[in-house]
């Protein structure tokens, strides 16, 4: 049963019902209506370069295996045996020719075909009763596409293509996934940990909330912490001099981007004549790479596109922070828990020493040891606690900053339609607008046919 017609999100007043952050019935509907119908990040092609390579991830709470077949084709399958539902692999990654369920030994090849059943002749008498062995392969994710090596998948056959789904967000994402025209790679492993907060608070924070930075992260920046900030700009100054940050909101080079399907970003354009800036203690090789990246980006990206950086999120649970080039995934684990995954994405043209330096710097920024991550995670935990309190849940949350202010800037040159200023609640409200449409059970056909009235 779809909980349709309930107005949890009011885009006219900029208010949101706190029930969406703790109610289990709503959460179960999210798994059906959001995570089973949206494009979700599964990994990077660099993680599975060879035939037989595989990695695991989850789509909502559904475990999936991402494989590279003998022919080089990338596929994804539900990690669940068709016999009793057990996992067919318990390894997070590896290389194999087949997947065997450790319960009864049903075995599948890299294309998901059921290739072996112990005792098939003696016990099954060569008869599956329902269909044939060909009908009992692993459940395959029907839609899988890549964006400069980033692998996304979707259970819904009726969904738009990945590029259509991304819309103008692709304009920003390209700057991180293909910064110099050489592609990108995942460097190192994945940080994974679980926190006591609703998954939406994390996505909400990254899709449009730059407002918190000068308060939440001030202690970290005051003691000298800075992200690598490959995109340029003085992150430390932005987050310690809050009044200066507010005054910059009237600068057209600072803006926020929102898309039809809920993605968003708060962005800044680096001044054309700004020198390459690296944190104190940066190696000479890193400084040289930063200069190389600046020059190569100017060749392969748009004139404005190559100067852009900022916070962002792709609906429902993906982000790549340009202050450290870290991919964030927020996996739902119930209405009150989120499993966070953080990867470090590097330019494929970066030297090994630079890659290692980027990973070290990133681990100090976000992830379980990151100074900013600890600030954010605690905020989200306490916001979730506030949402589930008996009295708190009676009162909506305020998402109306900048809602009625006409600060739209039309698309020009290589810049998309956007709002002036990177701070405001409109990106978050737009995220929840799309969330609500999906939760009401609107079909992809309906959502694609409807005009886009950005919040």
Question: Residue 115's domain is classified under what CATH number?
Answer: 2.102.10.10
Per-residue CA distances from 71 to 20, 145, 322 (Å): 44, 16, 34
Out of 129, 144, 159, pick the residue that ends a domain: 144
Residue 226 confidence (pLDDT) = 65
Q: Is residue 29 part of a domain?
A: no
Identify whether 21 is part of a domain.
Answer: no
Residue 218 shares a structural domain with residue 115? no
Is residue 328 assigned to a domain?
A: yes
Residue 5 lies in a domain: no
- Pair (376, 245) in one structural domain: yes
Q: How many domains does the chain have?
A: 2
Q: Are residue 290 and residue 379 in the same domain, yes or no?
A: yes
73 shares its domain with 131: yes
Q: Which two tokens stand for residue 249?
A: 């909101």
Same domain, 325 and 182: yes
Place of tokens 């054309």: 272
- Are residues 111 and 189 both part of a single domain? no
Residues 119 and 216 grouped into a single domain: no
Same-domain status, 100 and 245: no
In a domain, 24, yes or no: no
Asked if residue 182 and residue 105 are part of one domain, the reply reads no
Question: Do 189 and 254 fall into the same domain?
Answer: yes
Residues in the chain where the model's pLDDT stays below 70: 1-2, 4, 224-243, 279, 323-324
Distance (Å, whole) CA 370 – CA 327: 14
Mean pLDDT across the chain, nearest whole number? 92
Residue 396 CA to its chain's centroid (Å) = 26
Query: How confident is the model at residue 277, as a pLDDT?
Result: 75
Find the length of the chain. Answer: 455
111 and 232: one domain?
no
pLDDT of residue 231: 52
Q: Would residue 15 count as lying in a domain?
A: no
pLDDT given at position 243: 67
Quick check: is 231 in a domain?
Answer: yes
Last residue of a domain, one of 109, 144, 179: 144
Q: Domain of 196?
A: 167-444
Asked if residue 112 and residue 178 are part of one domain, the reply reads: no
> Radius of gyration (Cα) for the chain, nearest Å?
23
Q: Decide the pairing of beta strands 418-420 and 408-409.
A: antiparallel
Contacts of 40 (CB under 8 A, 6+ apart): 59, 60, 152, 153, 154, 316, 317, 318
Is 276 part of any domain? Answer: yes
392: CATH:
3.90.380.10
β-bridge mates for residue 342, sequence order = 191, 328
């Amino acid at each position: 049963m779809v909980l349709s017609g309930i107005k949890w999100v009011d885009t006219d007043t900029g208010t949101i019902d706190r029930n969406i952050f703790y109610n289990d019935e709503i959460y179960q509907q999210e798994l059906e209506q959001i995570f089973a119908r949206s494009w979700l990040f599964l990994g990077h092609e660099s993680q599975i370069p060879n035939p037989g390579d595989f990695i695991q991830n989850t789509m909502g709470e559904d475990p999936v295996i991402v494989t590279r077949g003998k022919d080089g084709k990338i596929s994804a399958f539900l990690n669940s045996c068709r016999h009793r539902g057990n996992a067919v692999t318990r390894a997070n990654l590896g290389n194999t020719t087949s997947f065997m369920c450790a319960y009864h030994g049903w075995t599948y090849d890299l294309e998901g075909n059921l290739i072996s059943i112990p005792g098939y002749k003696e016990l099954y008498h060569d008869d599956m009763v329902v269909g044939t062995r060909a009908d009992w392969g692993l459940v395959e994710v029907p839609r899988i596409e890549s964006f400069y090596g980033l692998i996304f998948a979707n259970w819904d056959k009726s969904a738009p293509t990945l590029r259509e789904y991304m819309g103008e967000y692709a304009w920003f994402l390209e700057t991180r996934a293909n910064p110099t025209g050489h592609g990108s790679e995942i460097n190192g492993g994945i940080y994974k940990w679980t926190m006591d907060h609703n998954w939406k608070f994390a996505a909400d924070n990254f899709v449009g909330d730059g407002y918190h930075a000068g308060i939440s992260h001030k202690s970290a920046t005051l003691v000298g912490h800075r992200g690598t900030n490959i995109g340029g700009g003085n992150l430390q100054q932005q987050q310690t001099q809050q009044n200066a940050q507010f005054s910059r909101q009237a600068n057209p080079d600072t803006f926020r981007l929102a898309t039809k399907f809920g993605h968003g970003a708060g962005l800044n354009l680096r001044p054309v004549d700004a020198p390459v800036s690296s944190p104190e203690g940066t190696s000479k090789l890193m400084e040289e790479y930063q200069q190389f990246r600046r020059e190569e980006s100017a060749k392969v990206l748009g004139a404005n596109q190559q100067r852009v950086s900022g916070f962002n999120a792709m609906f429902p649970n993906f982000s790549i922070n340009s202050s450290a080039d870290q991919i964030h995934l927020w996996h739902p684990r119930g209405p009150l828990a989120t499993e966070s995954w953080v990867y470090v994405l590097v330019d494929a043209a970066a030297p090994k020493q630079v890659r290692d330096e980027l990973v070290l710097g990133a681990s100090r920024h976000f992830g379980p040891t990151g100074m900013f991550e600890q600030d954010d995670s605690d905020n989200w935990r306490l916001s979730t606690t506030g949402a589930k309190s008996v009295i708190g849940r009676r009162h909506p949350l305020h998402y109306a900053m900048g809602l009625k202010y006409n600060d739209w800037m039309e698309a020009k040159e290589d810049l998309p339609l956007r709002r002036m200023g990177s701070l405001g609640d409109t990106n978050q409200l737009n995220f929840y607008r799309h969330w609500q449409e999906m939760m009401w059970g609107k079909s992809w056909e309906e959502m694609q046919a409807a005009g886009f009235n950005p919040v």
